Amino acid sequence: MKKIIDQENLNQKKVLLRLDLNVPLKNGSITDETRINKIIPVINFLIQKKSKILVISHVGRPKGKFNKDLSLKPICENIEKKIDKKIILIKEDIFNLKKEDLFENPSDQIIFLENIRFYEGEEKNDIYFAKHLAELADLYVNDAFSCSHRAHASICKVTNFIPSYAGLQLETEINALKKITTEIKKPITCIIGGSKISTKIGIIKNLIPNFNNIVIVGGMANNILSYKGYSVGKSLKEQNCDSIVRDIFETAKKYSCSIFFPKDVLVGKSVEDKSEVKELNEITNDDLILDIGPKTILEIKNIIDKSQTVLWNGPAGYFENPNFANGSIEIAKTIIKKNKANLIYSVAGGGDTVAILNQIKAVKDFNFVSTAGGAFLEYLEGKKLPGIKALN
């Protein structure tokens, strides 16, 4: 893997820089800036080298169509303030752009293209789209570790057409994860939650051989509860997952890994509701499971107490409403307490997981915090990430 930091001649070179600026937005304002803060170093590095920087990123899931609510504008404005430099955001269709037209004014140094997922070719890893992107610059840098599990045009295919390098943050993340996978102390526990059930549920089975305990919480747990025969009402749930869940339990038996799921829950009638504690057999058709209950929290605390290493991805509840943030906060507090006493090695990953840790100012109390969610889990599975493979 060639690294941009080792590159000598970057003066006036046009650098296509893939970042992950997929920050949480609420009514057009940024609610967590961690991902932005992590990429400031690579931008400053390229500024110092006098490169011409052409940034591409996605935010949200526009699914190949223009969506005015998912513009990179608020993100550009935020970065502009942080680096104290002007950023030009080009809204024009990427296919109408030519390399010669970019950075026409000698003082232009940073240009952003609009949300790369406005284009169908991005998620399809489309060869023509990738080639066109590559033709806009002299070299390419991937500093989006958290997107590198995606075989998308701006992550993978683009590297076929242009000299490609690893960015600063990408390297830091890989080094930290390498350390975890090689110097691990057992018992090791993985806590997995959140809402991206379809992307994460398949991963659990592959994690089993490497873990002593897997704790499933958040929206992820609803599929387990439903498999176990409980009604989950209107709760978030992925269809047709029963065979995957059955596989999880069978594989766990084979490897003596304990699978843990909620024993009680907090429900509401809507996500804005106040919370009510319920036993699993009390959930009604109009209930939404939005957090784990007190008994479950106690059991998870016990598991963490017996662990030497904990990895955590995915909130235990709908933490955007403070009434359903308690499960995640209690998990964080338990880990932090052990971490401060040097009794555990702790790693957390995922955009939303990091957002909670920021809310309670706990990021520094973990050994490592990655802004990657899916990529973090797939790396732990032992998979070769497509974006990393493309750089090699």
Between residue 171 and residue 210, which ones bind ligand ADP under the rule CB under 6 A? 193-196
150 binds ligand ADP (CB under 6 A): no
In the complex, least distance from residue 241 CB atom to ligand ADP, rounded to whole angstroms: 15
Query: Rounded to whole angstroms, how far apart are CA atoms 377 and 191?
Result: 11
Residue 155 or 377: the one with the smaller Cβ distance to Mg ion is: 377
Residue 159 or 223: the one with the smaller Cβ distance to ligand ADP is: 223
Residue 121 or 327: the one with the smaller Cβ distance to ligand ADP is: 327
- Binding residue (CB under 6 A) for ligand ADP from 51, 148, 210, 313: 313
321 and 272 Cβ atoms separated by less than 8 Å: yes
Between residue 367 and residue 386, which ones bind ligand ADP under the rule CB under 6 A? 373
Q: Which does 318 bind (CB under 5 to 8 A by kind): ligand ADP, Mg ion, none?
A: ligand ADP
Residue 223 or 307: the one with the smaller Cβ distance to ligand ADP is: 223
Q: Which does 290 bind (CB under 5 to 8 A by kind): Mg ion, ligand ADP, none?
A: ligand ADP
Q: Which does 330 bind (CB under 5 to 8 A by kind): ligand ADP, Mg ion, none?
A: none
- Binding residue (CB under 6 A) for ligand ADP from 170, 289, 311, 388: 289
Give the interface with Mg ion as residue ranges (CB under 5 A). 351-352
Smallest CA-to-CA distance from 75 within 61, 57, 90 is with 57
In the complex, least distance from residue 194 CB atom to Mg ion, rounded to whole angstroms: 6
Binding mask 211-230 for ligand ADP (x = CB under 6 A): -------xx-----------
319 binds ligand ADP (CB under 6 A): yes
Residue 93 or 286: the one with the smaller Cβ distance to ligand ADP is: 286
Residue 198 or 392: the one with the smaller Cβ distance to ligand ADP is: 198
- Binding residue (CB under 6 A) for ligand ADP from 121, 262, 315, 386: 315
Residue 238 or 352: the one with the smaller Cβ distance to Mg ion is: 352
Binding footprint of ligand ADP on the chain (CB under 6 A): 193-196, 218-219, 236, 289-290, 313-315, 317-320, 350-353, 373
